[in-house]
Amino acid sequence: MPINILIPYNFTVNDEIAIEFVGQRYGKRKEVEITLFHAFTPVPEIDTRNSPIMDKVNRNTSYLRLRQDEEKQALEAARQALMNYGFNGDHIHCLYLAVRQDIADDIIRLWKRGKFDVVVLNRNPGNIINYFSRSISKRVTRHVEGGIGVHIVN
């Protein structure tokens, strides 16, 4: 029976730990399908219309587009890391999608649509923003509780 795993990925050390966890826990199984998911903020298109200020803003957005290309390459490197654990490359999918609402809602939407059996999340302990708002892992766990396996790695 196939196991479908969703790994939200944000290019942090904790994400690398999530990759290692999946590799060690599921690496020997041939029926595993993995989806690496990263949600990014889209870069706006800017109409410069002969404005020096807008040209400068456009150069800054060019930097952001270059950064997105680097993120796509890093997502591919994470895919390669999973392949090094023995997963078939055809069973590892990379989703690099624009944020629709917020990241937790996007993960939940993807889980509903993708019929995942397992979600591997990580947390950033000490992240001050989690003091003021519910963390992504708590929101996702609360929503999918009982429906699938959720692993939270640190």
Q: Convert the pLDDT of each residue in 90-146 to its tens digit.
A: 999 999 998 887 888 888 888 878 778 888 887 665 444 444 445 776 777 666 655
Q: What is the CATH number of domain 3-153?
A: 3.40.50.620
Closest CA to 38 of 112, 107, 110, 95: 95
Mean pLDDT over each residue of the chain, to the nearest integer: 81
Q: How many CB atoms lie within 10 A of CB 140?
A: 23
Share of the chain above pLDDT 90, in %: 34
Element (H, E) at 76: helix 52-84
The Cα–Cα gap between 97 and 42 comes to 9
**How many CA atoms, within 13 angstroms, populate the side-chain half-sphere of residue 142?**
8
Q: Hey, which residues does 124 pair with through a beta bridge?
A: none
Strands (E), the chain: 3-8, 32-40, 92-98, 118-122, 149-153
pTM equals 0.78
Q: What pLDDT is recorded for position 49?
A: 66
